[in-house]
């Protein structure tokens, strides 16, 4: 097994999961709010691009911080060793994973409109979460179904909370503003 892939598995899983969930939430809420396919696609693509840069820069900075903490805590253990952390590679893995995954929920809006696009977007996202879990399970040599269900259920839970917030916020804001 390639140590480089395994050492970047955190960034890949994080990037894919966040790209899927954040963009399915964005495109679905846009599709409910407007029937303009152009607006939905623009929002999805700009969300994917902005998220890619945000996630990549966050991965870069967090990897740098982790290296700096390691140097501070135990400087002698790092001399002459090739570190597993590489902020630039971590940023590239996170950003690429996010961008590729964020495009999945957008794709149906190029083909379908309305409820059919929403259904396909959500369905592809859920299937992708399950496949991400299978892939993670395979790479870490753990139970495939358990890993797939874990990623799937965490993703569904996250999306569900986002959906509930989207349903409740207009009611709350309406009562606060008026």
Phi and psi dihedrals of 86, rounded to 5?
Answer: -140, 105
Look-up of token digits 């903490």? 69
Query: What does the alpha-carbon distance between residue 22 and residue 136 come to, in Å, rounded to a whole number?
Result: 20
Tell me the pLDDT tens digit for each residue of 60-73: 999 999 888 988 88
Predicted local distance difference test score (pLDDT) of residue 1: 59
Token duo for residue 97: 């994973």
Average pLDDT over residues 49-53: 98
The tally of CA atoms less than 13 A away on the side-chain side of residue 158 is 18
* Higher pLDDT pick, 26 / 4: 26
Predicted local distance difference test score (pLDDT) of residue 85: 78
Tell me the pLDDT tens digit for each residue of 148-177: 999 999 988 888 887 777 778 778 888 888
The answer on pLDDT for 146 being more than 80 is: yes
Neighbours of 122 (CB within 10 A): 16
Query: What does the alpha-carbon distance between residue 161 and residue 168 come to, in Å, rounded to a whole number?
Result: 10
Look at residue 105 and give its three-state secondary structure: coil
Average pLDDT, the chain: 89
pLDDT band at residue 82 under the 50/70/90 scheme: low
Token duo for residue 159: 């999306």
DSSP 8: T
Look-up of token digits 């929002």? 43
Predicted local distance difference test score (pLDDT) of residue 62: 94
Tell me the pLDDT tens digit for each residue of 52-62: 999 999 999 99
Q: Which segments within 55-118 are labelled E, that is strand? A: none
């Amino acid at each position: 097994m390639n140590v480089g892939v395994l050492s970047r598995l955190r960034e890949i899983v994080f990037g894919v999961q966040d790209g899927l969930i954040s963009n399915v939430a964005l495109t679905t809420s846009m599709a409910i709010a407007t029937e303009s396919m152009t607006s939905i696609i623009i929002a999805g693509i700009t969300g994917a691009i902005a998220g890619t840069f945000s996630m990549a820069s966050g991965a870069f900075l967090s990897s740098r911080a982790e290296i700096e903490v390691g140097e501070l805590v135990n400087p002698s253990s790092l001399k002459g060793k090739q570190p597993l952390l590489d902020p630039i590679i971590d940023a590239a893995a996170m950003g690429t994973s996010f961008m590729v995954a964020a495009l999945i929920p957008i794709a149906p809006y190029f083909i379908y409109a309305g409820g059919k696009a929403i259904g396909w977007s959500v369905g592809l996202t859920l299937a992708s979460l399950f496949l991400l879990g299978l892939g993670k399970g395979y790479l870490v040599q753990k139970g495939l179904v358990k890993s797939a269900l874990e990623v799937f259920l965490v993703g569904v839970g996250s999306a569900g909370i986002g959906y509930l917030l989207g349903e409740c916020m207009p009611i709350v804001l309406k009562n606060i503003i008026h």
